[in-house]
Amino acid sequence: MSAINYQQFTLGIEEEYMVIDPQSRELKSHEQRIVLEGQKLIKDKVKAEMHQAVVEVGTDICKDIDEALHDVATLRKTISQVATELGFAMGAAGTHPFSHWESQLITDHVRYSEIVNELQEAARSNLIFGLHVHVGMESREMANHIANSTRYFLPHIYALSTNSPFWEGRQTGYKSFRTKVFDKFPRTGIPEYFATIEDYDNYIKMLVKTNCIDNAKKIWWDLRVHPFFNTVEFRICDVPLTTHETIIIAALFQAICAKIYKLRTNNMNYIQYSRALINENKWRASRYGIDGRLIDFGKEEEVNTRVLIYELLDFVDDVVDQLGSRHILSLVPNLLETGTGADRQLRVYNETNSMVAVVDYIKDQFLYGI
């Protein structure tokens, strides 16, 4: 049996940031000035998003987790510096605690105009901020296999990323309300199982042929085989408060992909569960974060989410040294102890009874640990 090439599991990370008025702490349109100035420094690694109060950044293709950490940290520092010079502040959370979407401007771009025209208020109200992690694959066939198998783990890592407990000035009762907002879009959520990559491609062809979509980028699932790159793209997570939380989540996704690949090379596979069952765990993760209980479908019982995350670390333990990510995944226990972004936002609110204080905390965490 040939040795596994762990270098194939490259990383690409995209984060969506909120643009904040330092005085009012509301979301504020930057009229693409942050993007235009940022592109002078980091070129196309910074982009506009549908709402003018959002800035999207993306790393290069990173060979390992350390390179990804450096790239994300550089992006956050660069965007923060540009924003400060222009009179704005930056933050990273799945939703803004109290800004209302009705007052936010839409970017003037043909793609966004088409989306708003089709989806109407579902698009205009989609004022949310996510994290996307791409993991490199040797082929689209392998990407489809790994996407099928890693669906089961999406709620576990999602629970660890929960960072949107507030919406339009209300405490929602959810640790991640962002996905509740995004659920209004079509073709979202946990994907179906596709037996082969041809089945997936035929599904896309049918949607294009029948004018449901014009290209495969309008598949907005929590996980997808990327339509243009040889990657599996994980899209379920809220954007985390800090760089290190982003890197922890990216390292977990990378390790799960590598572990499923290793099983495949040994003629083994992780058991497949239905979308309906996985959705039960996704809802629990959205509602309770790491403080709830997820279903262990093998045991057919509820298990403390923290326990399952420790079991996940054990599951991937035999690939993390080859990936060079043990030092990053060793930070997971501390995150479980201190709480997710949602837990910490709620802690600030409970101590201050002030959503302005929560926004200040989000701003302060943007460059924390860099």
Q: Average pLDDT in the 238-247 region?
A: 98
Q: Average pLDDT in the 295-317 region?
A: 97
Residue 2 lies in a domain: no
Q: What is the pLDDT of residues 199-213, one digit of tens each?
A: 999 999 999 999 999
Residue 370 lies in a domain: no
The pLDDT of residue 42 is above 90: yes
The pLDDT of residue 322 is above 70: yes
What are the tokens at 25? 């702490």
- Domain containing residue 79: 7-365
Q: What is the pLDDT of residues 65-74, one digit of tens each?
A: 999 999 999 9
The pLDDT of residue 290 is above 70: yes
Q: What is the pLDDT of residues 325-351, one digit of tens each?
A: 999 999 999 999 999 999 999 999 999
What are the tokens at 31? 């009229």
Distance CA 169, CA 94 (A): 14
Residue 344 lies in a domain: yes
What are the tokens at 43? 């070129």
| Residue 202 vs residue 50, higher pLDDT | 202
Residue 116 lies in a domain: yes
Residue 190 lies in a domain: yes
What are the tokens at 37? 């100035």
Candidates 217, 33, 46, 191; CA nearest to 115 is 217
Total domain count for the chain?
1
What is the pLDDT, as a whole number, of residue 2?
A: 63
Query: What share of the chain has pLDDT > 70, as a percent?
Result: 99
Residue 82 lies in a domain: yes
The pLDDT of residue 173 is above 80: yes
What is the pLDDT, as a whole number, of residue 67?
A: 98
Residue 118 lies in a domain: yes
Q: What is the pLDDT of residues 88-134, one digit of tens each?
A: 999 999 999 999 987 777 777 777 678 777 778 877 877 999 999 99
Distance CA 339, CA 343 (A): 5
Q: Average pLDDT in the 129-146 region?
A: 97
Q: Is 241 exposed, middle or buried (0-12, 13-18, 19+ CB in 10 A)?
A: buried
The CATH number linked to 235 is: 3.30.590.20
What is the pLDDT, as a whole number, of residue 115?
A: 77
Residue 1 lies in a domain: no
